[in-house]
Structure 1
């Protein structure tokens, strides 16, 4: 999104934002139960503390800041806050919040290396976990996994563990790393030492972004955020021991990539509602990418389907949804778009384009470059935009109305050339009463409470 357009939105408080996309919003929520949701909560109110603007009636609490001391005594809170999920506490005494740290080899605020939780001592990424009491206060904060690289997003499992994904595919000896990277790791938010730091190698070695698990049969869907053409693919993993609980994914399985007959690049599809039946899945020849990255491997004369910037992935109702943040013809895509949401129905083997974001040229249409997306318990979506200029969390009601839910106010640039850290990891508490969201930089985790079920607002 252009800085100019974002600045206009910031000055207006996103009033009259209109519809940020076209498509069947109701289809996104098919089979999912929600309370009646409003079209928005009114204009954003400037935060006198300069951290987070919210609609009137909402309030935030800072749960964690980069550089503060971990209560576990393991070191300082690491930086680059990214994907996140909230899990109920085992005894009903609150929640556990698992948070990724997308640290590259050059990161200065690394995840502390804790014995028993380290994969590669040369890597600086990983996860931390916050324990929250019934009132939402942080009772402890500790390392959950360390020595991983560029932990971007991931996803929860039906047995309430977190799958953290490395958005990196460097081999040992590259970038100073001592081990191969590009894996998924399982993290138990209650007992991280029970899951340790063992890569789930059968699920593939590539630039992972996010995952979603079909709760009916245990199939795991995975997105790949590749930065250069050929772009990433959409995968599914059939575990040998589906729905076997914690550790079952270590038993291995089969990794496949999606083939849409006649569509080598999803960006070529521009019309919402476009539907493709008979979706095929091709077995990945070498999931460990020993010689060739997965997206460049030989899938036979019929090829395989690619897409630029495959990011968010989540399960809703009877289908899996995945996000393409954007596509740019100038960078090698078949066409240009400003964000898409796709729906795959496994029972029908049907792929449908349900939402198209943008365009960037209209100040009345703020939606662009969707990244992390969460289903909101009160109805609708929460979308973290990943672009330049002012940074927002946007809500999307079930009626297709777009509204600004939050705006970051922490300036990481200068007074003359301001910059704001992107939002990431938006998720909701198990009881639906609190929204958690991260500011990527400076690393900050917020808990947002307020009248979530209130009717009205600017919509």
Structure 2
């Protein structure tokens, strides 16, 4: 996900830029350092045959100048920014971001794709009756349906009139929860309604879900969600850009496992308190376990006067963390990611990424992974963002930084390999630039990888010997 307008990378000639974990791709390999139990990243997944050393081999230059892949892999462009939506509702919106692939009938796959448009979005999501929250919002989602042969059959607006739709997460009942990564209120940037909510999108019939904010789940700079499939609890991350940084939340729905629309019934929003730890970045040693984690009711989930992270949580305070982004359920626990922390931006300490595990049965929080650059890290290869579990049993990681942009694979043994490189130059021949990758996800049968390029908005389907 791109930083807000005016944000600048934190880098210098002698230090790697923010979240810089991966480096030296292609012929010279990739450098990354892990501290902790790497297997925790793949909790709840079955072991599978991983690609060999070096991954699937070197990337082969694409003669069409769109996407470099290893030999034996091929891609199909499903959708491109500015082209007509197959529904005829308008052009394909810009800023393609988080995405999910949900199973449909007769082998169909439903893709739901976020568009992280701000008030100045290049190509806004078309305003559609019954699907628009705020007609001045430029963001939203589009929904594509692919047949069992991978051909696009439908492409239409899933929700419109939202803002800065960054990531989100799928529900157990086959919908997508899209998250607004903003706190803008009505009257700001031309908006006619408050923003900073989660919305549910039904990929089969978007009019069934409509454009209803799930207000009880809080109004803040949402990033991602993960749902406990047994208890129905929804965990939420907050990617706040300025100190005090974001919180880690849980939402206790009144109707857990209720299906489409059930989250509108409300519930209780709580924030995590780690007793004695106001800032997670201060914790540096992997394996550190905190017991008796507390959950504190949010005083004002709608943040009518004060953003939630500024609110008074009582004598014990509340626990913050910089760049809370990814969130997923694995095994019997929820995992969430702090992508980086910088003390000169207000964090208690510096790190290049942490993965935390919360065990709801034991009420424990454990720091399981700390990322760090290997020695002498060079560009390109920085700022991992969206991640997903891969058919090999490892991970696929989208790059969001400077220089060349890649999708990287990560094996269970901690080996990093290039899976794809973007070739669409959005700069100049003298000073080339490439759009970040986002929304990587796999089809339910694990045979196709779907991924977006943020700019120019492009959705790819990649097939091959996964």
Which bin holds the TM-score, normalised by the shorter protein? Answer: over 0.9
1:382 to 2:405 alignment: no
For residues 327-338 of structure 1, what are the structure 2 equivalents within 5 Å?
A: 327-338=341-352
Contact 1:20–1:367 (CA<8 Å) still a contact in 2? no
1:137 to 2:164 alignment: no
Displacement, 1:388? 1.4
1:73 to 2:88 alignment: yes
Displacement, 1:51? 1.1
Q: Match for 1:105 among 119, 127, 149? A: 119
Cα deviation code 1:392-444 (max 9, x no counterpart): 11111111111111111111111222211111101110101111110001101
1:59 to 2:74 alignment: yes
1:48 to 2:63 alignment: yes
Q: Match for 1:152 among 166, 185, 196? A: 166
Q: Match for 1:301 among 298, 304, 315? A: 315
Distance 2:28 2:58 in 1: 6
Displacement, 1:112? 0.2
* Aligned match of 2:180: 166
Distance 1:130 1:250 in 2: 25
Q: 1:358 to 1:392 in 2, by over 3 A?
A: farther
Quick check: 94-103 or 31-40, which moved more? 31-40
Contact 1:34–1:377 (CA<8 Å) still a contact in 2? no
1:443 to 2:453 alignment: no
What are the ranges of 5 or more consecutive residues in structure 1 without an aligned counterpart?
453-459
Cα deviation code 1:228-261 (max 9, x no counterpart): 0000000000000101111110000000001112
1:127 to 2:141 alignment: yes
What are the ranges of 5 or more consecutive residues in structure 2 without an aligned counterpart?
1-8
Contact 1:14–1:403 (CA<8 Å) still a contact in 2? no
Contact 1:237–1:254 (CA<8 Å) still a contact in 2? yes
* Aligned match of 1:249: 263
1:115 to 2:106 alignment: no
* Aligned match of 1:188: 202
Distance 2:331 2:379 in 1: 28
Distance 2:126 2:455 in 1: 18
Contact 2:25–2:381 (CA<8 Å) still a contact in 1? no
Displacement, 1:145? 0.3
Distance 1:408 1:443 in 2: 12
- The 3-state SS of whatever aligns with 1:99 is strand
Q: Match for 1:177 among 175, 184, 191? A: 191
Distance 1:373 1:11 in 2: 20
For residues 341-380 of structure 1, what are the structure 2 equivalents within 5 Å?
A: 341-359=355-373, 362-363=376-377, 368-380=382-394
Displacement, 1:378? 2.1
Displacement, 1:50? 1.3
Q: Match for 1:283 among 297, 302, 308? A: 297
Displacement, 1:276? 1.7
Contact 2:31–2:373 (CA<8 Å) still a contact in 1? no
Contact 1:339–1:370 (CA<8 Å) still a contact in 2? no
Distance 1:188 1:27 in 2: 31
1:35 to 2:64 alignment: no
Contact 1:21–1:367 (CA<8 Å) still a contact in 2? no
Quick check: 178-187 or 362-371, which moved more? 362-371
Displacement, 1:19? 4.0
Contact 1:111–1:143 (CA<8 Å) still a contact in 2? yes
Displacement, 1:160? 0.7
Distance 1:17 1:276 in 2: 33
Distance 1:364 1:139 in 2: 43
Distance 1:415 1:21 in 2: 36
Distance 2:372 2:75 in 1: 29
Contact 1:79–1:110 (CA<8 Å) still a contact in 2? yes
Distance 1:38 1:23 in 2: 23
Distance 2:405 2:447 in 1: 23
Contact 1:241–1:248 (CA<8 Å) still a contact in 2? yes
Q: CA RMSD in A?
A: 2.0
Distance 1:318 1:299 in 2: 28
Quick check: 135-144 or 359-368, which moved more? 359-368
